[in-house]
Amino acid sequence: MPPEPAPAPSRRAVSPLDHRLEAATGHDIDTMWAYRDRGVLDEQHAQLVDRHRKLAKTQTGVIFHLRLLNRLSSGEFDVDGALFTRIDRTVDQLGEAADARVAAARDVLAALEPIEAAAASVPPDAQQLSTDDQAALLAIARRRQAAIRRRSERGGGR
């Protein structure tokens, strides 16, 4: 029996705030989500990513109801009372989904504004270290600390 295929990655809905998140953090959304999943973000950025995921989910809801409304109005169905009932219900659900998206966008903005302010306070000529560079520097510092500790345990001082 052949092995089960790997699950296809789900597509993320694009939100109206994606460009601001990318500009403030210096990373694309998918990278930020991956960093969150790996647990390498600080609390402020982790909260931002969590709120952005909620926004993306609400965006998916809006898109779903828009497409359903488009399909219902496409002429594919007989025009009768049942169709009008479905259209009315879909419009109501679309309104609820849009309200949820607005609330989620407010939450993202509340988490994003302090990060944008901090990013704006960094001088333009200051270079940000990549995650790989930060990890390499941390490894060097840890090795250096371990070497110093070993020498001091042997009585060699510094």
For the segment 60-116, what is each residue's pLDDT rounded down to a tens digit?
999 999 999 999 999 999 999 999 999 999 999 999 999 999 999 999 999 999 999
- Cα 135 to the chain's mean position, in Å? 22
DSSP single-letter state for residue 79 = -
Query: What integer pLDDT is reported at residue 141 of this predicted model?
Result: 84
**pTM score of the predicted model:** 0.69
Is residue 1 over pLDDT 60?
no
Which of 85, 103, 42 is CA-nearest to residue 77? 85
Q: Which residue has the higher pLDDT, 96 or 16?
A: 96
pLDDT digits (tens, 9 = 90+) for 37-63: 999 999 999 999 999 999 999 999 999
DSSP 3-17: PPPPPPPPPPPPPTT
Q: Which residue has the higher pLDDT, 112 or 158?
A: 112
What's the pLDDT band for 121 if we cut at 50, 70, 90?
Answer: confident
Give the range among 1-5, 109-113, 133-137 with minimum mean pLDDT: 1-5
User: Average pLDDT of 5-20?
Assistant: 71
Which of 34, 64, 62, 63 is CA-nearest to residue 49? 34
Query: What integer pLDDT is reported at residue 11 of this predicted model?
Result: 59
130 Rama sector, left if φ>0, alpha if ψ -120 to 50, beta otherwise:
beta
Is residue 8 over pLDDT 50?
no
